[in-house]
Structure 1
Amino acid sequence: MKRFMLVLLCLLPASPAFAGGPVKLDLNATYGATSFHTQGAMAFAELAKKYSGGSVDITVHPGGSLGFKGAELLKVVKDGQVPMSDILMGVVAGSEKVFGISSLPRLVGNFKQARQLYDASKPLYEKAAAKWNQKFLYAAPWPPSGLVTKGAVNSVADLKNLKTRTYDKNGANFLRSLGGSPVSLPWGEVYSSLRTGMIDSVLTSAESAKNGKFWEVLDHFKDINYAFPLNMVTINLDYWKALSKDQQQAMLKAAAETENNQWANSESRTVEALKVIQQHKIAVSKADAALNKALDAAAAKIIADFRKGLKPSAQAVLDRFAR
């Protein structure tokens, strides 16, 4: 009863009787204030306030400071424990499978293809969000994942027993099938684990390698375009429906602009990050034909397993993009 009253109090400003005051909404952000996606959420909040004439006031809470993280986030927003959240989609794929599409390995090889995959999948994401009592607002990709390692990775043999921090089950299964030893760790423990030798590599982007100053502990980046995983921002449908039509339109305008900006920013950050890590003596290279063939074979197994139980609409998307 107490939580219901709190929710009701938050919703009251959106009603016509309280049109004079701004609607205040909290947006949960898992990553820190300097993170690419948290900065995107902050830009979205500013645009929503601007386009609504100040009647929608969104406060972004970085670093999981509200206490909500990971696989619980779909349920947290569904239940209204927080009105809005930035969510790494692959992490909640256990609750709603289609959210795992963007984190499948080697489906796409560049940003143009990644955007095409997103556009094809977006209706599925919107429907899945609605099923979880949420309005899907926008999504944007992390810069593409590669392998940051101690020593060069030029063949499958170089992956054998490599202790690699991965960010989801797909990545773990992918590397395990290639002879690696994937390790699950919170991001905050990655650098210290590299220092102590608990792990000797990370499946992540050049952007994250730059932000983590991985050149202090690692010396190679294999640019394999493993995946372009998406983060999405959603809002609880009860909160959404309590907004006026004008406020909803302002939010959608802000979401569309943020989405386009974040896609462009992700690509430009990738180019810049690759330059920075090279300047700090991390050797950047691409996979040769033999390694690419092995990586695609491993990816095909992950994708085939993911297909099990998918609805025809999602199967059709994979049919378009799977190699």
Structure 2
Amino acid sequence: MNPVKRCSLFHVLAGAIALAAGPACAQQVYKWNMPTPYADGSFHTKNTRMFADEVRSASNGRIDITVHSNGSLFKLPEIKRAVQTGQVPIAETNLPAYGNEYAFFDIDGILFLDSGYESAARLWKLSKPHLDKRLNAQGITILYTVPFPGMGMVSKKAITKIEDFKGMKHRSWGPAASRFAELVGATPTVLQASELSQAFTVGIVDATLTSSTTAVATQAWDYAKFFIDFQAAHSKDTIIINTATFKGLPAELQQIILTASANAEKRGWDWSKREGEETKARLIKEGMTILTPDAAFVADLRKVGERLAQDWEKRAGPDGAAVLKEYIAGRR
């Protein structure tokens, strides 16, 4: 064969092989939608966007996460199932919203059990094995969690004693909040944080247990006058991922997600501590009054908390009783 023809044939074949192999060798790009129930102004949403940005940057765009805030893609009650069924691969949610399904989802909702970030971390450590077991069985993996600042109450009226709750209409975010309302003589109504402003304005509710960060994110000064600083609990926001989706990623991308998760968790806990004081200062600046319960009011609230703990323990069974016993013993 003519050397020139042989050379030309070689280059033609090599080019054909390269074209055929090109698509197979190209790196897959994963475009994910990520719902969160929180408003754009919430530090949780901001932290989640930073997580998504880190994943996108570290993966050179191979994982591109679009965050959908304010319950715009899925409402809070729908988010866990959306991940479980693969409608979305990843999401930010608040597990106490699913407390009717499984008591441990609602362990943060045992109000007035204790307060402070150290206690919140210890409660998470004790409850996480049970949460992992339940969620893993549903095809869900926990990536990380971040607490809210201590829970208080946004209210149209001043609340300075336990009797002031009687006859009020409380917004509830789950079983524990509903039970609290019932125990203090209020009427609970389940609403999402994104619905707060309208619900207050039209009179559906006149108070809600929530954090100062949610109060600022929803501009509570437009619909209420008081924030009662109960420090009732540190409800936690949790980032979850569909297990099959996660395990289907190349190992290097899995590690990128785990690293970004660890960074977001540390950043989020530190941010939460600052956020509590900064958002209370913002509420005051916008004209709201911050009320701190006196000793007698706190004592009455702790009695309600004991009832909530008893109710939760009945739902949680022996595992729940063991966790509560260890938690209470450790705080002494």
TM class by smaller structure: 0.7 to 0.9
1:141, 1:149 → 2: CA distance? 22
> Superposition pairs for residues 161-310 of structure 1, below 5 Å?
161-310=167-316
Are the structure 2 counterparts of residues 313 and 257 from structure 1 closer, same or farther at C-alpha, using a change threshold of 3 Å?
farther
Instruction: Check whether the contact 1:108–1:321 (CA below 8 A) recurs between aligned residues.
Output: no
Residue 63 (structure 2) pairs with residue 72 (structure 1): no
Instruction: Pick which of 184-193 and 79-88 moved more.
Output: 184-193
Instruction: Check whether the contact 1:51–1:251 (CA below 8 A) recurs between aligned residues.
Output: no
Deviation of residue 311 (structure 1)? 5.3
2:44, 2:37 → 1: CA distance? 9
2:31, 2:168 → 1: CA distance? 47
Q: Which amino acid aligns with 1:80?
A: G
Q: Which amino acid aligns with 2:128?
A: K
1:318, 1:107 → 2: CA distance? 10
**Number of equivalenced pairs:** 307
Instruction: Pick which of 298-307 and 250-259 moved more.
Output: 298-307
Instruction: Check whether the contact 2:230–2:293 (CA below 8 A) recurs between aligned residues.
Output: yes
**Aligned residues with identical type, % of pairs:** 29
Deviation of residue 208 (structure 1)? 2.0
The two structures have a TM-score, normalised by structure 1, of 0.86
The aligned counterpart of 1:27 is 34
Q: RMSD of aligned C-alpha atoms?
A: 2.3
Residue 152 (structure 2) pairs with residue 146 (structure 1): yes
**1:111-166: CA deviations, max 9, x gaps?**
22112212222222222221110121011112222122233211112121122222
Instruction: Check whether the contact 2:37–2:75 (CA below 8 A) recurs between aligned residues.
Output: yes
1:111, 1:268 → 2: CA distance? 12
Instruction: Check whether the contact 1:74–1:132 (CA below 8 A) recurs between aligned residues.
Output: no
Match of 1:45 among 49, 52, 56: 52
**1:163-184: CA deviations, max 9, x gaps?**
2222222112112211222333
The aligned counterpart of 1:115 is 121
2:249, 2:145 → 1: CA distance? 21
Are the structure 2 counterparts of residues 218 and 52 from structure 1 closer, same or farther at C-alpha, using a change threshold of 3 Å?
same
**1:176-207: CA deviations, max 9, x gaps?**
21122233333343223323333322221112
The aligned counterpart of 2:15 is none
Are the structure 2 counterparts of residues 35 and 211 from structure 1 closer, same or farther at C-alpha, using a change threshold of 3 Å?
closer
Are the structure 2 counterparts of residues 29 and 210 from structure 1 closer, same or farther at C-alpha, using a change threshold of 3 Å?
closer
Instruction: Check whether the contact 1:70–1:92 (CA below 8 A) recurs between aligned residues.
Output: no
Three-state SS of the structure 1 residue aligned to 2:57 is helix
Consecutive unaligned residues in structure 1, runs of 5 or more: 1-16
Deviation of residue 245 (structure 1)? 1.6
**1:209-253: CA deviations, max 9, x gaps?**
223332244222211112211121111111111111211111111
Are the structure 2 counterparts of residues 299 and 167 from structure 1 closer, same or farther at C-alpha, using a change threshold of 3 Å?
same
Are the structure 2 counterparts of residues 155 and 235 from structure 1 closer, same or farther at C-alpha, using a change threshold of 3 Å?
same
Instruction: Check whether the contact 1:147–1:203 (CA below 8 A) recurs between aligned residues.
Output: yes
**1:16-35: CA deviations, max 9, x gaps?**
x5562333322222233333
Instruction: Check whether the contact 1:27–1:85 (CA below 8 A) recurs between aligned residues.
Output: yes
Are the structure 2 counterparts of residues 69 and 155 from structure 1 closer, same or farther at C-alpha, using a change threshold of 3 Å?
same
Instruction: Pick which of 34-43 and 109-118 moved more.
Output: 34-43
1:188, 1:143 → 2: CA distance? 18
1:98, 1:273 → 2: CA distance? 29
The aligned counterpart of 2:93 is 87
Instruction: Check whether the contact 2:39–2:217 (CA below 8 A) recurs between aligned residues.
Output: no
Which of 1 and 2 has greater Rg? 2
1:156, 1:163 → 2: CA distance? 14
Are the structure 2 counterparts of residues 164 and 26 from structure 1 closer, same or farther at C-alpha, using a change threshold of 3 Å?
same
Are the structure 2 counterparts of residues 22 and 100 from structure 1 closer, same or farther at C-alpha, using a change threshold of 3 Å?
same
1:73, 1:49 → 2: CA distance? 22
2:58, 2:127 → 1: CA distance? 27
**1:286-320: CA deviations, max 9, x gaps?**
22221112111112112211112535444332223
Instruction: Check whether the contact 1:22–1:55 (CA below 8 A) recurs between aligned residues.
Output: yes
Three-state SS of the structure 1 residue aligned to 2:254 is helix
